[in-house]
Amino acid sequence: MLEMIKEPWPWYIAGPLIGLTVPALLIMGNKSFGISSSLRHICAACLPANVNFFKYDWKKEAWNLFFVLGIFLGGMIAAHFLINPNEITVNPELKTELAGYGITDYSNMVPEQLMNFESLLTWRGLIIMVAGGFLVGFGTRYAGGCTSGHAIMGLSNLQWPSLVATVCFMIGGFLMANLILPVILSL
């Protein structure tokens, strides 16, 4: 059983489990699924600033903070006790393409050549980690939610803004992976 948990789960098991969080949250308390709002709740709880955006009753959304804490603790448990010692399986054609950019280490989920403190001081690392992080945060705020909130919760509730946001997420992902990322990796 433990070996099965260490392997990636197929879509037909993981997908429905993720999808079942929507009715579970709605039934248990009419709550909406989403992760990006938790940062706002943390700021509202910890920063006594006089900012209108943080002036609301964040305690009503405290369940979301426990949800995010559970995700964090689950990730820590998985990283320490359920790690698969085998190299990450990567398509051979992708390995060949990435080798041209100097990426050859597949011992972690994210290649060490991309995400480490030394590469943070390069143009490639600065763009991927700092600019990318800023754009994700800005995009989440501008879109009124993150991919999980829109694509999982919003689409299941037939919300038009969530459909528009999800389509834009997909278009942005395709453009990034196929046009922009190769340019950044070649820096």
Q: Write out pLDDT tens, residues 17-58.
A: 888 888 888 888 888 877 888 888 888 888 767 888 888 888
For the chain, residues with pLDDT lower than 70 are: 48
pLDDT at 164: 94
pLDDT at 173: 92
pLDDT at 172: 92
Closest Cα to residue 157, out of 39, 34, 12, 11?
34
pLDDT at 42: 86
pLDDT at 26: 85
pLDDT at 64: 85
